[in-house]
Structure formats: structure tokens, C-alpha cells
Amino acid sequence: MFAYILKRLATAIPTLLIIVAVAFFMMRAAPGGPFTSERNLPPAIEANLKAKYNLDDPLPIQFLKYLGNAIQGDFGPSLTNRDMSVSELILQGLPVSLTIGLSSLILAVFVGSLLGGIAALRQNKATDYGVMAVAMAGICIPNFVVAPLLTLTFGVWNDLLPTSGWVENKGPAEFYRSLILPIIALALPQIAIISRLMRGSMIEVMRSNYIRTAKAKGLSAAQIIRKHALRAAILPLVSYLGPATAALLTGSLVIEKIFGLPGISRYFVTSAVNRDYTVVMGVVILYATLIVVLNLIADLIIALLDPKVKLT
């Protein structure tokens, strides 16, 4: 297994380098710059700013300098947020995105797996059709529709839950109440996807030969599902959860915008609009690293769950 991990890391490093290079040059190719505004700076001041941040160097030189610093963990200062480094901005937004993302992931896995399993065991019955209808609606209806509906229903019309803000300073009870709507809104699409994955996988497993053998031996339905079916049925789900977890952990622009959450996505989009190259690059590197690491973890979990999988 150790050799397999080293092999995966050896292939991950060139992948990350390519992602960093593509993002770096695409940002520079976009019109405008970090010091472009409605009131243009005097040429001398703009030249001094570019020299300070090495933006007057040729692009290949800029890339090599940035890469050398990034390898050492230095992502540079933010070009538009004065007196703030990229690492400080990411660390400031990461706890918010982690809290919302991990909570919504746990909710999505639990509810989606439960609904998918129930639908599979009630295949072609009313329960199955109902669960799949709800799942299709969850997949088709985007977050920017679901989140305002939740806000109107539970916040504006009934005044049951807070509708915006990160109210960490108002006590634990109010803080946890403020998390409910963002977590539900972020988890709903994942619940729909996971339920469909779980249903399809469970149906396939329940039709396999070893499940028929277990039934022939007289095992109860509960024993078959708990000891044999679930372990095989969750394998496609584990594969999906790698990139899904990375996406949820880095937050959602729509959710953070609607509910006024100071997460990573808000900094990312604001920086992209303002051409804050260093912040955008820092978030891209974080997201790419999360995907690589989480996919590796997912493969290792699959190998532990399925003895037929060999890590080579």
C-alpha cells in the first residue's frame, strides 16, 4: 500500500503543476488587472505597484517566481486586500466553509444512503417512485432557487430560523440555528445524487449471485443487507465522495452569497472579479490538492472494503 501511495503522489505532483500553470496564465490572459479601476492610477504609481509585486517581469519569470514561493508555502500577499496575505484570507474563510461543508456532507451521506437503500428495497413500488421523483427534483432545481425558498419559508414568513450571517458571537444556540438553512440548502443536491447512486448500486448488489446464495442459506433480509449488501453497495458512493467532499469543503458561492457567509468561495469570486491573482491561485491550489488527496483516500477505502481490488 505504501508503494501505491508513493506512485499516486508521483503522478499527482505533475497534475498539480499543470493545474497551477493553466490557472496562472489564464488569469493573466483576462483583460484588466488588480490595479485597474474606474479612476485609473497615475502611470508612475501603477508602475511602482507592478514592480513591487513583480508584475512587470515577463510572464514566464513571474510564473517561476510564484511557483518557487508556492512550493515553500508562500502564496504571496493579496493584491486588493491591503495588509492581508493569501494564507490569512484562506485561513479566515476556511473554518466557515469547513463547518458548512462537513455538516452538509454528513447530512447528505446519511439521508441519501437511507433514501437510496429504501428505494432499492422497494423497487418499482410507490416508495421507490416517490424517492426517485424527489431525487430528480433535487438534482434539477439549482441552489439559487432552493436557498431563497428555504429563506422565505423558514425565515421571512414563519420567522423560525436566521436567514443570514455568521452569528458565532451570539451564543451556541443562535449559532447552530444560523447553520441549519445553509447546511440543508447545500446538502439537498448531494442527497438527491447520493440516493440515486445508492439505489442503483443496491439493486445491482441484491441481484448478484452471492446474495442469492445467502438467501438460500436461510439468512434473514436484515442480515443479508447488513453483512453482505451494504459493504458492496457503498463502493460507488465512496468513489463519488472524493471530489464531492472537496467541492463541499471549499464551499458554495451561491450558498455563501445568499446566507452572507464569509467562506472561501466569496473571497475566490471577489478576487477573480478584481483580478487578485494571488488569492485566486491560492484557492485553486487548495481545491486541486483537496481533490487529489481525497481521491487517494477514497481509493484506499475502496481497497479496504473490496478484497478484489488490488493496489498496484
What fold, for 90-267+298-305? MetI-like fold (1.10.3720)
> pLDDT class for 122, splitting at 50, 70, 90?
confident
> pLDDT class for 4, splitting at 50, 70, 90?
confident
To the nearest whole number, what is the mean pLDDT of the chain?
A: 81
Nearest partner of 271 among 1, 2, 84, 97, judged by Cα: 84
Tens digits of residue pLDDT in 41-82: 666 766 766 777 677 778 888 888 888 888 888 888 887 777
pLDDT of residue 40: 63
Judge residue 185's burial from the number of C-beta atoms within 10 Å of its C-beta, 0-12 exposed, 13-18 middle, 19 or more buried: buried
Between these two residues, 206 and 45, which has the higher pLDDT value? 206
> pLDDT class for 110, splitting at 50, 70, 90?
very high
Q: Residue 194 pLDDT > 80, yes or no? A: yes
CA distance 236 to 217: 27
Q: What is the DSSP string of 212-259?
A: HHHHHTT--HHHHIIIIIHHHHTHHHHHHHHHHHHHHHT--HHHHHHT
pLDDT of residue 91: 86
Between these two residues, 55 and 120, which has the higher pLDDT value? 120
* Average pLDDT estimate for 161-168: 74
Q: Poorest-confidence range of 3-12, 17-26, 101-110?
A: 3-12
Between these two residues, 232 and 49, which has the higher pLDDT value? 232
Q: Poorest-confidence range of 12-16, 127-131, 256-260?
A: 256-260
> pLDDT class for 300, splitting at 50, 70, 90?
confident
pLDDT of residue 134: 84
pLDDT of residue 38: 47
pLDDT of residue 171: 65
pLDDT of residue 270: 78
Q: What percent of the chain has pLDDT over 70?
A: 88
Q: What is the DSSP string of 121-146?
A: HTTTSHHHHHHHHHHHHHHHS-HHHH
> pLDDT class for 309, splitting at 50, 70, 90?
low
